[in-house]
Structure 1
Amino acid sequence: MFPTDARLMHRARERLVRLARALGVNLRQTYERVGKLALIKHQRYAHAKQFKRANKALRTLRTQLGRVIRDIRRKIGTDEALNAAFAWPLSLASRVRDQRPRQRGQKVYSLHAPEVECIGKGKAHKPYEFGVKVSVATPIQRSKGGQFVAHIKALPGAPYDGHTLEKVLPEIESQIGVNLNRIVADAGYKGHNAPYKHRLKVFTSGQKRGVTDTIKKALRRRAAVEPVIGHLKAGHRMGRNYLAHRRGDAINAVLAAAGYNFTLLIKWIRLLFAFVLPTLISSLRRKPTLHAA
């Protein structure tokens, strides 16, 4: 479900009302019944593509949230304890109230995780993703044990893909302890800012100039990173992060990659034991032969 402005304003008002009740602040009006009705109307009108009526319901939700914010500020006055308790919720609710559709720059997409960003994918079945951008690097060469993750890093701020290589490539070299001979990336890395020593080693999908048969083979091999990303999201909890704040995003990405690599290692160890154990057992069961003197 996409985080619509209507639902965010409705949830922000609900959270403020709940906190006011918990702290004993009596509000003039909570808009519980009419607020829910306005949200339902907005959803129905938007679904029916009656956007004038939907925008009218959205203005109603924005007005209700603004009234609750102003009422709370009047009631808490100069009380230091109440001001400290309401500081962050009121700031977040004000940001939600002031933001507009198609607004440029940082927006609030989640009340419990305001650091969430909107990442445009450009795909028909999934035009947007909400979270934080993550850089994933795997070896070009085929490995019998599977495609391991060599480096992973969360990149907050939704930077342009090509502008991430300046920081990512030196980190990869320092982590694996080997100089990179060739870097292949998708078309989103065009116009990259790789360090000077790597600038002529970066090749992107669709590139024509300076592409030999060996590099073409490496560019075809680039697609091997896609199933790795799919496994990280679906099987190792990178698709949904339960750790809070920016630090939690960075930790979750590293833990997902570590879990994926350990899965490949465990599969390799299991196969090793499947071949070695029968040989050991048969050698132990074999009876020694006695020779007569």
Structure 2
Amino acid sequence: MKDAINQMEKIVGLRPKEVYVDLGYKGKDHHPEDVQVHLSNKSRKKMTRWERMWMNRRSAIEPVISHLKYDHNMIRNFLKGKEGDRINAILSAAGFNFSKLIRAFFVISKILSLHRFYFQFESCFFSFLKDLNFSGTTIYKRFTHLYRINVNRTLS
């Protein structure tokens, strides 16, 4: 853990004051002196609200790492050397990001198609209502001013 914290300090430029880890880091020989280490062996009742929040955040990241390993071929690297490790990591990250982009575009297109369908249905429905005669009843107050539906006409 000391190496990971030093690498994080080198990359980010800040040293963390607190670290939330699982039981794999149990034991004082892993812990740096200036960083407070929180293990996940406490019961949920004894944790503060913020500790529970950070533990939930940590446990939410682990499935993403597992999917990255299994779905994007990071279990085994078939490329040679450290350069092969770098290439494999970059290609896996690119594939992961592309799958997130495709999923986002799919969701946006689904929302737009539902929106388009709703307004097509709405205009068709109210054009049908406009041709009907009603005896003093209010149809839908929100749309009566849009379609100029005459609700006071009587049946002839």
Please, what TM-score do these two structures have when normalized by structure 1?
A: 0.33
Aligned to 2:55: 219
Q: Secondary structure of 2:78's match?
A: coil
Aligned partners of 2:59, 2:117: CA distance in 1, in Å? 42
Q: CA deviation at 1:227?
A: 1.8
CA RMSD of aligned residues (A): 4.0
Q: Secondary structure of 2:41's match?
A: coil
Q: Secondary structure of 2:38's match?
A: strand
Please, what TM-score do these two structures have when normalized by structure 2?
A: 0.55
Identity percentage over the alignment?
31
Aligned to 1:163: 2
Aligned partners of 1:272, 1:179: CA distance in 2, in Å? 39
Q: Does 1:275 align with 2:111?
A: yes
Structure 1 residue runs of 5 or longer lacking an equivalent are: 1-161, 288-293
Distance 1:268 1:172, change over 3 A: farther
Q: Does 1:242 align with 2:78?
A: yes
Q: Does 1:230 align with 2:66?
A: yes
What is the one-letter code of the residue matched to 2:5? E
Aligned to 1:185: 21
Report which of the two structures shows the higher radius of gyration computed on alpha carbons: 2
The question of whether the paired residues in 2 share the 8 Å contact of 1:183 and 1:203 is answered with: yes
Aligned partners of 1:182, 1:267: CA distance in 2, in Å? 34
Q: Does 1:256 align with 2:95?
A: no
Count, aligned residues: 123
Which among 5, 25, 39 is matched to residue 204 of structure 1?
Answer: 39
The question of whether the paired residues in 1 share the 8 Å contact of 2:68 and 2:92 is answered with: yes
Distance 1:173 1:280, change over 3 A: farther
Structure ranking higher on relative contact order (CA contacts 8 Å, 6+ apart): 1
Q: CA deviation at 1:170?
A: 2.3
Distance 1:266 1:184, change over 3 A: farther
Aligned partners of 2:16, 2:97: CA distance in 1, in Å? 21
Q: CA deviation at 1:169?
A: 2.2
**Which has a greater percent of helix?**
2
Structure 2 residue runs of 5 or longer lacking an equivalent are: 125-156
Q: CA deviation at 1:180?
A: 6.2
Q: CA deviation at 1:282?
A: 7.1
Give CA deviations for 1:61-101 in whole Å, capped at 9, x if unaligned: xxxxxxxxxxxxxxxxxxxxxxxxxxxxxxxxxxxxxxxxx
Q: Secondary structure of 1:218's match?
A: helix
Q: CA deviation at 1:278?
A: 4.2
Aligned partners of 2:41, 2:65: CA distance in 1, in Å? 21
Q: Secondary structure of 1:241's match?
A: coil
The question of whether the paired residues in 2 share the 8 Å contact of 1:238 and 1:256 is answered with: yes
Aligned partners of 1:181, 1:207: CA distance in 2, in Å? 20
Give CA deviations for 1:165-185 in whole Å, capped at 9, x if unaligned: 2333225636xxx99686422
